[in-house]
Amino acid sequence: MTCDPSFYADTQRIFLLLHQRGLAYQAEAEVNWDPVDRTVLANEQVDANGFSWRSGAKVEKRQLKQWFFKITEYKEALLQDLAQLENNNAWPSRVTSMQKNWLGKSEGANITFKLDYEEPRHDKIDPITVFTTRADTLYGVQYLALSLDHPLVSQHASTSTELKAFIESARALGPEDKAGFVLPGIKAYNPLRYVAAGSSPANKPLPVYVAPYVLSEYGTGAVMGVPAHDTRDFAFWKQNSRASAVTRVIEPLIRQKRSSKPEAFTGPGRLNAACGLFGGLTSEQAQEAIVDTLQSASGQAERVERWRLRDWLVSRQRFWGTPIPIIHCDTCGAVPVPEEQLPVQLPQLPKGQFTSRGGNPLDHATDWLHTRCPKCSGPAKRETDTMDTFVDSSWYYLRFAQSAQKQEGTDFMPVDVYVGGVEHAILHLLYARFIAKFLSTTPMWSSVEAPRTTVEPFSKLIAQGMVHGRTLTDPDTKRILKPDEVDTSTPSEPKVQVTGKAAVVTFEKMSKSKYNGVDPGECLRKYGADVTRAHLLFSAPVSDVLDWDEEKITGVQRWFGRIWQITHDIAERTSRLTVPERASSIDMTKVQPAEAEMWKNVQQTIASVEQSFSTTYSLNTIVSDLMQLTNQIHRALADNSQNKHITPTVYHSIHTLLRLLAPIAPSFAEECWDVLHAHHSPHRAFQGGFPETDGSLETFHAQSQPCAVQVNGKLKFATNIQPPPERLSGEEQRDWVLKAAFASEEGKEAVRRSQGLWDVKYARKIIVARGGKTVNLVFDK
Ligand code: ANZ
Ligand code: ZN
């Protein structure tokens, strides 16, 4: 993608626009340095345990001058507009909630705790300020905890080898661990003790811990520990305090059964009697009241808003990437490359110069590096950092649409449907939203009237599920089996070669180490592209995980076989029939009931497939709808096997089926089309366009009758159903009516309300009377 020079130019133009508006800036920063790839990584590219997303190396911290995009300027818009995307589930909620967490807005307070030595001393200790979103729990504070990098901790570590050793080991543990180290000889005081009276829990001096679960980059790097109301604090307190009793200060608003296992009550609620003056307030009221009180009494509290989101570090010390269009001049500073000199391209490097992992080869490309300053023409140097490739991918969709429509500008925005893996839920999709919002305020976007930061680039997002592969494990050793360790003489029951025991079968993410990969090429060769595609679509809803089970592909093969067979059957019989040109010229009131039934099914299938393709994207149900229609056509032909002719309804039904099938199995649908027309068709299955309903469904709907459903003689619901087909009687008619009644909206609603109390399965007797107009279910009481 980044190889196209014109693509560079646009990425660089975007950079310069951001730069012009002060939204691209350079700053000295502590960066994540990947010592293997010798490059800086964005925070997002470092996993929870501090390892590189790409090389897997342990990431180090270094101070370097880096380029940033001020994505934080757009944080409110990025958060607010998620509401647009949550509407009608336009985006999967797991993605919007991941973005919400990533933006991480929290409204809370900074609260200051005074500190003192236990033994009287001359010097004083600086107070500790914590960030909390739950000021209402202040009476329940039982300790303070500091991050490993907190200044007070560093100060103590300089004189305590014990603490130094703890910090070392705690760094390796990571932020999930609940280890703690108590700072000896120090106590903290709850600021409420100055307003509290008597035996308030706020009067107890508090221990101060050092703990890896407190993050140094979040809030103030210090927390107030409330074991009774925070899960992490609860776990920490159990592990570190000898007096493990917790001080409960919040009670649920609605009386709940107290859980039998000891745990924190984390919800909001009402402050209890332990909270003095504040007792009886709700959490929300108390947060306000406590912060206000402390603020005016002693200045020990202030309201703050915190965001997790940081500015986007876009500098990369890699050769591959779009060069940052900046020239550094000793006199003029960082000067933007003038528009007419774009794109700044990467130099041709001699072979081998960038094959070894030796940092950024641009640093050594002297001819490219040395240039003239665009402002003063003095000697200057090019910026050697290239941009994070996420910058390119944050706008590429604009280019696709432009070239497809041979059009400049962005009138075609937003993208209707965007399909992408959930691994892009945060990085790519957040960056793309930011850049689209930014561009919509610039002349790069068509028709800018006013800054429109409410722009969203992707109206609908489908995060397709992963395909999981069949994984075989030895039940004894729990080891994953290699293909040559498996006895597959009975393919459906794989055995461990050496022990003869049945292998454990699971479906997991495909990976070389699990020997569960599937070669798509091989599958295509074996079954053909159409069968493979239909099987893929049929196996699971697009956004679910799909267990790739090759054995089940035979079902799809059989279905295609059936279509092939009926196509031939119809082709043979149609030669003796003149078929009306258009289906709409068949008078549905004159055909046999069974045929009318089939035509109704054709109409319903068109409507349902169209909806699946255009709004619900439930591609798997398209396949099952078409399978069902196939079976119906097959039955109609079988019922009619003595007849040398087929009816126009059947003829048009197969045509519709093939046209609906064409998007999923194009080659196969065209083959069948050819058979049907003895190779004389003036057009192809695809050319007629997508089939449209002929309006007859309404007529079918008009033919309905009321149906009242009773349980033990009491009316439960009434609905309208189609009259049962005349050919049915007795049990068949009974089942048909039951199915129709319970498939209706009223039926479904009644079942929901009954909460399983009268499941038809358990009825002792089912009476259908008056041609299906009343149904009575009899249950044993
Ligand atoms: C006391 C408290 C009581 C808290 C309670 C929660 C529940 P969000 O909402 O994600 O912003 N916290 C603050 N700084 C922290 C740090 N540097 N490392 C780890 N945890 C930190 O989380 C805010 C909450 O995270 C704060 O509210 C604080 O714990 C904790 F019943 O304060 B809370
Ligand atoms: Zn200059």
**Cα–Cα distance, 337 to 342 (Å, whole number):** 7
pLDDT-derived band at 43, boundaries 50, 70, 90: confident
Does the beta carbon of 19 sit less than 6 angstroms from any atom of ligand 1?
no
Q: Over the stretch 713-735, which tens digit does the pLDDT of each residue have? A: 888 898 888 888 777 888 888 98
- Please give the residue that has the higher pLDDT: either 327 or 195: 327
- Residues 253, 268: Cα–Cα separation, whole Å: 8
What residue's CA is closest to ligand 1, atom 14?
219
User: Around Cβ 727, how many Cβ atoms within 10 Å?
Assistant: 11
- Please work out whether the CB of residue 655 comes within 6 Å of at least one atom of ligand 1: no
| Residue of the CA atom closest to atom 27 of ligand 1 | 132
Paired with 335 in beta bridges are 327
Find out whether the beta carbon of 230 lies less than 6 Å from any atom of ligand 1. yes
Query: Which tokens hold the place of 416?
Result: 């209707």
- Predicted local distance difference test score (pLDDT) of residue 1: 41
Average per-residue pLDDT in the chain?
A: 88
**Ligand 1 within 6 A of 229 CB?**
yes
Q: At what angle do helices 619-639 and 648-661 cross, to 10 degrees?
A: 160
Asked whether residue 2 carries a pLDDT value surpassing 50, the answer given is no
Q: Would you say residue 80 has pLDDT above 90?
A: yes
| C-alpha of residue 131 to centroid of ligand 1, in Å | 7
User: Hey, which of 102, 111, 130, 132 would you mutate to test ligand 1's pocket, going by the most ligand atoms within 8 Å of its Cβ?
Assistant: 132
Q: Which atom of ligand 1 is nearest to the CA of 226?
A: 3
Residue 695 has pLDDT above 50, yes or no: yes
pTM: 0.70
Give the mutation target among 128, 129, 133, 231 for probing the ligand 1 site: most ligand atoms within 8 A of CB.
133
Ligand 1 in contact with 270 (CB < 6 A)? no
**pLDDT above 90 covers what percent of the chain?**
57
C-beta of 175 in contact with ligand 1 (< 6 A):
no
Q: Which atom in ligand 1 lies closest to the alpha carbon of residue 220?
A: 17
Q: 335 C-alpha vs ligand 2 centroid, how far in Å?
A: 7
Q: Which residue has the higher pLDDT, 42 or 3?
A: 42
Query: Which ligand has the minimum distance to the alpha carbon of residue 376?
Result: 2
Amino acid identity of 510?
M
Establish whether residue 234 lines the binding site of ligand 1, counting it when its CB lies within 6 angstroms of any ligand atom.
no
Nearest CA to ligand 1 atom 7: 230
Pairing of strands 714-721, 705-711: antiparallel
Q: Which residues contact 481 (CB under 8 A, 6 or more apart)?
A: 472, 473, 474, 496, 503, 515
Q: Is 696 in the pocket of ligand 1 (CB under 6 A)?
A: no
- Is 538 a residue whose pLDDT tops 80? yes
- Regarding the beta carbon of 134 and ligand 1, being less than 6 Å apart is answered yes
Query: How much is the average pLDDT of 257-261?
Result: 67
pLDDT at position 78 over 80: yes
Q: Residues 537-560, buried b or exposed e (16+ Cβ, 10 A)?
A: bbbbbbbeebbbeeeebeebeebb
| Residue (of 192, 236, 184) closest to 208 by Cα position | 184
Q: Which of 218, 231, 275 to mutate to test the pocket of ligand 1 (most atoms within 8 A of CB)?
A: 218
Average confidence (pLDDT) over 243-251: 90
Grade residue 407 by pLDDT with cuts at 50, 70 and 90. Answer: low
CA of 217 to the centre of ligand 1 (A): 13
Ligand 1 contact, 435 CB (< 6 A): no
Stated as kind and residue range, the H or E segment containing 778 is strand 774-778
Ligand 1, pocket-test mutation among 134, 213, 229, 246, most atoms within 8 A of CB: 134
Which ligand lies nearest to the CA atom of residue 247 in the structure? Answer: 1
Closest-approaching ligand to the CA atom of 266: 1
Of the listed ranges 272-286, 373-387, 668-682, 694-708, the one predicted with least confidence = 694-708
Range of lowest pLDDT (22-31, 342-351, 445-454, 762-771): 445-454
Q: Is 241 in the pocket of ligand 1 (CB under 6 A)?
A: no
For residue 17, pLDDT beyond 50? yes
Band (418; pLDDT cuts 50, 70, 90): very high
Q: Could you identify the atom of ligand 1 that is nearest to the CA of residue 264?
A: 31
- Residue 355: pLDDT above 60? no
Q: In which region does residue 276 sit, left (phi positive, over 0), alpha (psi from -120 to 50) or beta (all else)?
A: left
Q: Domains in the chain, please, with CATH?
A: 106-306 (3.90.740.10), 470-509 (no CATH), 550-698 (1.10.730.10), 704-778 (3.10.20.590)
For 39, other C-beta atoms within 10 Å of its C-beta total 24
* DSSP letters for 344-399: PPPPP--TTTTTS--S-GGGG-HHHHEEE-TTT--EEEE---EE-HHHHHTTHHHH
> pLDDT digit string (tens) for 424-477?
888 899 999 999 999 998 888 875 555 567 899 999 999 998 899 999 999 999
Note the pLDDT of residue 558: 96
Q: Report how far Cα 100 is from the mean position of its chain's Cα atoms.
A: 12
- What band does 365 get if pLDDT is binned at 50, 70 and 90? confident
Mean pLDDT of 397-414: 71
Ligand 1 pocket check: which of 79, 100, 101, 131 to mutate, most ligand atoms within 8 Å of Cβ? 131
pLDDT tens, position by position, 738-756: 988 988 888 888 888 887 7
Mutation choice for ligand 1 from 100, 103, 230, CB with most ligand atoms inside 8 A = 230
Backbone angles phi, psi at 523, to 5 degrees: -65, -40
Higher pLDDT, 99 or 348: 99
Ligand 1 atom closest to the Cα of residue 216 is 17
pLDDT, mean of residues 109-123: 92
From the CA of 374, the nearest ligand is: 2
The answer to whether the CB of 384 is under 6 A from ligand 1 is no
What spacing in Å lies between the alpha carbon of 211 and ligand 1's midpoint? 14
pLDDT of residue 400: 77
Atom of ligand 1 nearest to the CA of 222: 17
Instruction: Give the whole-number percent of the chain exceeding pLDDT 70.
Output: 92
Question: Where does the pLDDT of residue 585 fall: very low under 50, low under 70, confident under 90, or very high at 90 and above?
Answer: low
Ligand with smallest separation from the Cα of 146 = 1
Beta-strand ranges (E) seen in 42-165 are 60-69, 106-117, 128-132, 143-146
**Residue 65: helix, strand or coil by DSSP?**
strand
